[in-house]
Structure 1
Amino acid sequence: MNTVEHANLMELASVIRSKNASPFEVTFDIIFKNKSIYEVVKKNQILNKEILAELYNVSPDHILDVIYFDAANAVKFNMPRSAPHASFGETDMHSAQQHVPLQGLVLELES
């Protein structure tokens, strides 16, 4: 019988960050503390376009890709910036604060 545990992403990851991917996109990196946590997240596709879209209050097609990177125990995803880099109305020039919603994300982990 599988058991489900709930864990905050902040407890599972050693790095959660966002940064410029281009003048028009922001990229997010989540690097997990160890391979076993990463493998559970990857196996169950816990971080997917639907979950991330809901978290950022956008449609799933707004999440451009979700990449599982085994060599770093990491997940990367990209999405368009709300305004082009350094343009009028742009509020986070380096996209360094866009990861904040991820810090409150609670994941359901099946073991």
Structure 2
Amino acid sequence: MTRLSDVATGMRSKNAGPFWITVDVFLPDEETYHRAATSSLTDPIAVGAQFSVDPAHIRVFRLPELHVIKISLPRPRAQGSRGERDMHAGQQFVPLLGLHIGSPRKS
């Protein structure tokens, strides 16, 4: 199977306030977007397992016209709090890179 890191044209994570992180996944075309949008990337249980977050708190937003999937989740610690290690949440997308997405359709 193909991993997300093999097909995403870009990924970024950022603050969505002091208590939330948003991950943006940019995909190159409609077919790849569809594969990712129907994979474990959009499954709150799979995403929650990657971040040790209750799946009930995972929010997934599909933007098919842009070939983008956005995932929002609570930060493990509030931004700037003691023990918080990524003030801008810039590296939080990394656990998603290894998620498997479906193979391309065969013609």
Query: Same fold judged by TM-score > 0.5?
Result: yes
Q: 1:12 aligns with which of 7, 15, 30?
A: 7
Q: 2:82 aligns with which of 85, 88, 95?
A: 88
In the aligned structure 1, how far is the partner of 2:8 from the partner of 2:17? 25
Give runs of aligned pairs for residues 66-105 of structure 1, distance below 5 A.
Answer: 66-105=60-99
Query: What is the CA RMSD across the aligned residues, in angstroms?
Result: 1.6
Instruction: Report the count of equivalent residues.
Output: 104
Deviation at 1:50, TM superposition (A): 1.4
Unaligned 5+ segments in structure 1 are: 1-5
Unaligned 5+ segments in structure 2 are: none
| CA deviation vs aligned residue, 1:61-99 (integer Å, no higher than 9, x gap) | 131x10101121010011111111112221100000111
| AA in 2 matched with 1:102 | L
Identify the structure with the greater strand proportion: 1
| AA in 2 matched with 1:53 | G
| AA in 2 matched with 1:107 | I
Q: Is the 8 A contact 1:32 1:38 kept in 2?
A: yes
Deviation at 1:101, TM superposition (A): 0.8
| AA in 1 matched with 2:100 | V
The percentage of counterpart residues that share the same residue type is 32
Q: Is the 8 A contact 2:14 2:90 kept in 1?
A: yes
In the aligned structure 1, how far is the partner of 2:71 from the partner of 2:16? 10
Q: Is the 8 A contact 1:41 1:109 kept in 2?
A: no
Q: Is the 8 A contact 1:9 1:107 kept in 2?
A: yes
TM-score (norm 2): 0.86
Deviation at 1:57, TM superposition (A): 2.5
TM-score (norm 1): 0.83
Structure-2 change in CA distance of 1:82 and 1:57 (3 Å): closer
